[in-house]
Amino acid sequence: MKKLLWLGLFVIVLLLTACSSNEETDGDGKVTLDFWVFGSAGYENLAEQYMKENPDVKINVNFTEMNDLHNNLFTSISAGSGAPDLTMIEISQIAKFLEASDKFYNLYDYGASEVKDLYLDWKWKLAESVDGKFLLGLPTDIGPTAMFYRVDVFEEAGLPTDPEEVAELISTWEDYYEVAKIIKEKTGKLMSDSPELVFNSLRDQAPEQYFNENDELIIETSPYVKEAYDFATKMIQEGYVGQNSLWTPEWGNAMAEGSYATLLAPSWMVANIKGNAPDAVGKWAVTNMPEGAGNWGGSYIAIPKESKYPEEAYAFVKWLVSPENQYVSFINNGLFPSAPEVYEKEDFVNFSDEYFGGQNTAEVFAKAAESVKPIYMGKNYAIVNTELVNALINVATNGSDPQKEWDEAVERIKSQLERQ
């Protein structure tokens, strides 16, 4: 009788263990990871490869517009419900989510210190707590900026089209302004269709932007952001810059139409150009940004605390952002690696892109990356940026007075910051 009792208890323990194990996986026995992404990172293809190599892991890649992703992520972690297992976080948002670090797993607890030396130190530190004990996300790419240009538009204007000659022709912002006059006169076309991209390019070269390291708003005391705004609005008012907002259908279509001469942007814009203008092979080229590069964008991948599978999620992230896969992301989608060892790869050094007329685009972006200096962005970066971009678009679309728009934007920014 006693033997039967013990046998019964043993069976019950086995059943409970089996039930517990089943609760950690889906009905098909696989661990399912929901992964929130934005942009044209191409991570869905890498996820497919990972699932083939790891058949017990299923990854659902969910695409969302960047601002929506960050808003949804903040809402879900605040509510304690609805967050994914993995999420991209853009560099301008990383300080904001670091303030909610208790809602995320500390990647140092999963071995992140072992891969720290693989990545650019400045990029790594932006996702780290002040005391260096907490790491929010592993780094994906960086966004060294350059000047994409339409070869056919430059040719039509009677200007040089070779990348080195164009870099020499437009080495300063004053040169950019003068060439805009020529483009307009000879072709009737714009120098740029985007007020935001012109503004961003000057802003991202500055040694400081919206906040100091005490998170104090400095756009009224530091000259750089206002100078970038004034240059962009001057070109808008004189008819050299159009009025397209980023990520709109009009903005995408213009890449294919060849209705403007230059697109000032980071390396990750390569995928957008190819996607929006698939038939423009050989019509786009890329060269140095006037007066040097800045950095715009680049992201991290973090693991919200709601995930039941932090170990599996970390294993995937570590694989996804490895130097080997950062090289793949550069080749396929133009994501410039944050892992410097990629820069030494022979295939990377000698990379040529047929879409850009066989140009070695890696060389251009690598040179740009060398001049990038990290700047403090602050947890409220998005508030300031949104209002300044709204002001620029109002000048471009409504013909509003630039100074009036600036003053009103500053007041809206201050009002919002007071409520934070």
Tens digits of residue pLDDT in 127-143 = 999 999 999 999 999 99
Q: What's the order of all strands across the beta sheet hosting 284-287?
A: 262-266, 145-150, 284-287
Range in 23-27, 100-104, 264-268 the model is least confident about: 23-27
Tens digits of residue pLDDT in 361-406 = 999 998 898 888 888 999 999 999 999 999 999 999 999 999 999 9
289, 146 Cβ separation under 8 angstroms: yes
**Percentage of the residues of the chain whose pLDDT score is greater than 90:** 86
For residues 98-103, give the mean pLDDT.
96
pLDDT of residue 106: 98
Which residue in this structure is represented by tokens 């995320």?
104
pTM, two decimal places = 0.85
- Mean of all residue pLDDT scores within the chain: 92
> pLDDT category, 48, cuts 50, 70, 90?
very high
Range in 38-42, 52-56, 216-220 the model is least confident about: 38-42
pLDDT of residue 36: 98
Element (H, E) at 35: strand 31-37
pLDDT of 297 above 60:
yes
pLDDT of 12 above 70:
no
Total Cβ atoms within 10 A of residue 124: 20
pLDDT of residue 278: 96
Count how many Cα atoms sit within 13 Å of the Cα of residue 86 in the half-sphere of its side chain: 30
What single string gives the DSSP state of each residue in 253-320? Answer: HHHHHT-BSEEEEETTHHHHHHHH-TT-TTTEEEEPPTT---B---EEEE-BTT-S-HHHHHHHHHHH
pLDDT of residue 371: 80
255 contact partners, CB below 8 Å, separation of at least 6: 263, 272, 273, 276, 277, 280
Q: What are phi and psi of 292, to 5 degrees?
A: 105, 160
pLDDT of residue 20: 38
C-alpha angle with apex 126: 57 to 340, nearest 5 degrees? 70
For residues 96-111, give the mean pLDDT.
97
293, 132 Cβ separation under 8 angstroms: no
> pLDDT category, 3, cuts 50, 70, 90?
very low
Enumerate the β-bridge partners of residue 144.
295
Q: What region, left, alpha or beta, does residue 188 occupy, with left being phi > 0 and alpha being psi -120 to 50 degrees? A: left
What single string gives the DSSP state of each residue in 222-243? Answer: SHHHHHHHHHHHHHHHTTSB--
47 contact partners, CB below 8 Å, separation of at least 6: 35, 59, 61, 316, 320
Range in 37-46, 68-77, 97-106 the model is least confident about: 37-46
pLDDT of 13 above 70:
no
pLDDT of 24 above 60:
no
> pLDDT category, 25, cuts 50, 70, 90?
low
